[in-house]
Structure 1
Amino acid sequence: MNANKSKLTLPLILSFLIFSMLLNSMGVIILQLSEKISYKGLGFLESFKDIPMALVSLFCVNLISKTGNKNALTFSLIFIIISCFALPLVDTFWFFKIWLSIIGVSFALAKIAVFSIIKTNFRDGHLASVMSRVEASFMIGIFIVNIGFGSLLSSDYASLWKYGFWLIAILSIITLFILWPVKIDEITSQSKSVFSGGTKFLRSPKIIYFFIIIFLMVFVEQSFNSWLPSFYKNNLKVNSYFALQSSAFLALFSFFGRLITSKLILHFHWFRFVTICLIFLFLILGISQILITYFYDNARLVLIFLIPFTGLFLSPLYPLYNSEVLNKIPTERTHFFLSIVVICSSLGSSMGSLYMAMIFYEKLSYFYPLCIILPLLIIFGLTFFLNKNF
């Protein structure tokens, strides 16, 4: 990897770190608003982020192809800077919906841009390695946002928690200054629409399996990232600060999982790696459900430390699936392919949050691990078909 490629990796990592902190602030928002708004209502709040994300990802494909990935990433960071500075200044609930919509639109632009940049600037094992490192920064973002906001909420300045988003805006400004001078290989602009031939492309069985897996992967990740603090507070009876730390330590283990993956994937086949991770996830979640059901009084402390450990095995999956398929996608189809990835991811996020919201609303949260095992079983089965087709 040459020096320019190394310089390119840093702004991509910082961009995903920023969006991670914003997207995963939902756990904080849910905790802060849960006393005023029902879990059922909070479950729909996520859709204000995910629906615009899905719509924009589909309609901005041609625009990104013409303006370039670097410009798309730049504009997404500018939107973040403006919205994060505005959030603490507007003290009404409806602005959260607008703010989340801006976050969703910006992330759609950024994700397509970042993945396209990785696709056009890295190859084979290095692509998977860089993808895992960029996605690892996503986990660190979750860790930082939960530790940071958790500390703020437990301090004398808890009422000023929304001003924490100003720090994210400042980091976005720094990222823009790092990104701007870096030279990036762009996908050659096509005279015809990137949607041409898309129907045939989407009918491929391997692509269909992949999109279902991506939908379910984000479905599962959302069940952890936004709702694990509520599970800790409601079922394991810890206070808001320690509830937020559950997501922080889940993210910390996830970071190590993706960092380790970025090194090991250069030496191991992706299918073997994914299979081992899924088996360990089933074991941890199965043991957790047994402890909750039969040994709750004696095992509560064990559960507090055991469940975040799932991050070590859950986190490698999403970047490995993405990098394996992205490696085999023709360059001219990259933007269109990634737009569908963003749509599946955003729908998975919304459905995962609604799924968990109904579980908490119906007071079934004692079956939290079992509810996560069910979509993982489908992923496990589809992975065999995906590997067979590739």
Structure 2
Amino acid sequence: MIQNYSRIALPLKISFLVFSMVLNCMGVIILQLSATNISYTNLGFLEAFKDLPIAIFSLFAATFINRFGSKTSLIFSLLIVAICCILLPFVGGFWFFKLWFAIMGICFSVAKISVYGILRNNILQEIPLAKVMSSVEASFMIGIFVVNMGFGWLISSTYSEYWKFGFWIISLLALANVFLLMKTEVLPDAEHSQIFYFSEITGFFNRKYFLFFLIIFSIVFIEQNFNSWLPSFYKKHLNVNSFFALQASAFLALFSYVGRIVTARIIQHFSLARYFIGCTIAILLMLFLFQTLVTNGYLQITLFIFPLIGLFLSPLYPVISSQSINHIRKAEIHLFTSLIVIFSSLGSSVGSVIMSYVFQFEYGGYYALFISGAVIVLLLLSFIYFRSYVSKKENNY
């Protein structure tokens, strides 16, 4: 099965790279639009225009993908992204950013469900699937790094007024990947119903899946807070310029990429549960260290220490997702993935709205660290309970 993956690895990674750049340019846009007297509260709700369409459309996306197939659906979503990125520099107004992010969110819901469907159809075993998902998800982190580094350079250059044209590069990459996908052969999807029935979801209405989706919600809540609001935190509370503020997110993403690549290489040597718990505890310790340094005035050191948290944060999502997806029947994979996307988008949206209100206060950035720490504790407790509950019900976990 890994041989099948080797043929499709590149287009799947590029797909995640493209969507990572369009979804995680939020930090850049918040930084740029906040300088035009748009309040942090309004900018916080901008995240909701990206995430709520993901949540609302995901169930319908599963039906769309069942009808047209994972590969065709992925190609379609990339084409829409390319067109929207071409149009962005020519349309002004805050309203267009809302519409643009809504379209990006809908396309991402289709793309992510398609990518997960392709992976599940080609890889059947838990550890190989965890390795592959960590590798593919790692490209998502590279997208965050590239978009922050690229736009950081553009914004700080003499061509800063043309920063929107940076999206044309994303458009070209999306179009190139469409061509690559058309040349790539993948195993066909399992047979699915082309009509969505609400009753199909009821199988996921139990304690085990509630805990799983709570874990997913918490992970994305933390990830999105760090990725979207870290530049504003660095600029507002650590008094660095826009370029270095964006580099904070860029290097957070770089270390997140390293974390997922390392996970893909070593995961077969560890229990998935112990690896997850170890990473979560490491995040708590690093957050405590960061808060201690900030409180005691060691601001310069924190500029370099905080991005290291990505080493331990990034493996959580692919590890828990691959473990659960491996136990889902192929016929249910699109529906299950759509539920993962829904709770991921809710975590992202709720997190950003909360942070937008927190950042309105003079010392809001420091409170943001405590909020993130509380959610990490919730994540750890939820996972421990999840493992305990599942171990009693299913001996194969």
Shorter chain as normaliser: what TM range?
Answer: over 0.9
Listed as ranges, the gaps of 5+ residues in structure 1 are none
Q: Contact between 1:58 and 1:340, CA under 8 Å: does it hold in 2?
A: yes
SS at match of 2:58: helix
Structure-2 change in CA distance of 1:54 and 1:349 (3 Å): same
Contact 2:121 2:190 (C-alpha < 8 Å) held by counterparts: no
Secondary structure of the corresponding residue to residue 266 of structure 1: helix
Distance 1:368 1:31 in 2: 17
Residue 21 of structure 1 is matched in structure 2 by 21
Letter in 2 for 1:201: G
CA distance in 2, matches of 1:291, 1:153: 29
* Aligned counterpart, 2:300: 301
The CA distance in 2 between the partners of 1:383 and 1:248, in whole Å, is 29
Which of 249, 252, 256 in structure 1 is aligned with 2:251? Answer: 249
Q: What corresponds to 1:134 in structure 2?
A: 136
**Structure-to-structure mapping, 1:228-239, within 5 angstroms:** 228-239=230-241
Matching residue's letter, 1:182 = T
Q: Which stretch has the larger CA shift, 368-377 or 325-334?
A: 368-377
CA distance, structure 1, for counterparts of residue 378 and residue 241 of structure 2: 34
Cα–Cα, structure 1 residues 191 and 77, in superposed 2: closer, same or farther, change >3 Å?
closer
Once the two structures are superposed, residues 68-114 of structure 1 have per-residue CA deviations (whole angstroms, 9 ceiling, x without a partner) of 00011011001001100000011222111111111001000000000
User: Per the alignment, in what secondary structure is the counterpart of residue 245 of structure 2?
Assistant: helix
SS in structure 2 of the partner of residue 227 of structure 1: helix
What do the CA deviations read for 1:96-139 (whole angstroms, capped 9, x no partner)?
Answer: 11111110010000000001111111122211111001110000
Q: How does 1:257-268 map to 2 (within 5 A)?
A: 257-268=259-270
Equivalent residue, structure 2, for 1:9: 9
Name the CA distance, whole Å, in 1 between partners of 2:2 and 2:384: 36
The superposition leaves residues 163-215 of structure 1 with CA deviations (integer Å, 9 ceiling, x where unpaired) of 00000000001111111121111322234745465343112322111101111
Residues 63 and 194, structure 2, Cα contact 8 Å, conserved in 1: no
Equivalent residue, structure 2, for 1:52 = 53
Contact 1:4–1:182 under 8 Å retained in 2? no
* Other structure's SS at 1:46 match: helix
Q: Tell me the amino acid that sits aligned with residue 13 of structure 1.
A: K
Measure how far apart 1:292 and its partner are.
1.9
Aligned residues, how many?
387
Worse-superposed segment, 142-151 or 59-68:
59-68
Q: After superposition, what is the alpha-carbon deviation per residue over 1:276-331, rounded to whole angstroms, capped at 9, x for unaligned?
A: 101111111011112222x11xx111111111110000000011110000000111
Q: What is the Cα deviation at residue 5 of structure 1?
A: 2.5
The CA deviation at 1:369 is 2.2
Matched to 2:57, the amino acid is V
Q: What's the CA shift string for 1:311-355, capped at 9, x where partnerless? A: 000000011110000000111111111111111011111101011
Q: Is the 8 A contact 2:156 2:243 kept in 1?
A: yes
Q: Is the 8 A contact 1:85 1:166 kept in 2?
A: yes
Matches of 2:160 and 2:193 in 1, distance apart? Answer: 53
In structure 2, what is the equivalent of residue 31 of structure 1? 31
Question: 1:326 and 2:325 equivalent?
Answer: yes
Query: CA 1:326/1:43 → structure 2, altered by over 3 Å: closer, same or farther?
Result: same
Given residue 312 of structure 2, which amino acid in structure 1 is its aligned partner?
F
Question: Is 2:60–2:196's contact at 8 Å kept on the other side of the alignment?
Answer: no
Q: What SS class does the counterpart of residue 188 from structure 1 fall into? A: coil
DSSP 3-state at the match of 1:190: coil
1:354 and 1:191, CA in 2 relative to 1: closer, same or farther beyond 3 A?
Answer: closer
Question: Which residue of structure 2 lines up, in the alignment, with residue 94 of structure 1?
Answer: 95
Pair 1:2–1:383, CA change in 2 (3 A): closer
State the partner residue of 2:81: 80
Contact 1:254 1:313 in 2 (8 A): yes
Q: Whole-Å Cα distance in 1 between the matches of residues 286 and 154 of structure 2?
A: 31
One-letter amino acid of the structure 1 residue matched with residue 180 of structure 2:
I
Question: Structure 1 stretches (4+) deviating beyond 4 angstroms?
Answer: 1-4, 191-194
**Structure 2 residue identity aligned to 1:84:** C
8 A Cα contact 2:4 2:122, kept in partner: no
Instruction: Compute the displacement of 1:2 (Å).
Output: 5.5
Identity %: 47
Counterpart for residue 184 of structure 2: 182
Which residue among 167, 170, 173 is the counterpart of 2:169?
167
Aligned letter for 2:142?
Answer: I
Contact 2:81 2:174 in 1 (8 A): yes
Residues 259 and 312 of structure 2 are in contact (CA less than 8 Å); yes or no, is this contact kept in structure 1?
A: yes
8 Å Cα contact 1:81-1:169 kept in structure 2: yes
Displacement of 1:216 in angstroms is: 1.1
Unpaired runs of at least 5, structure 2: 391-396
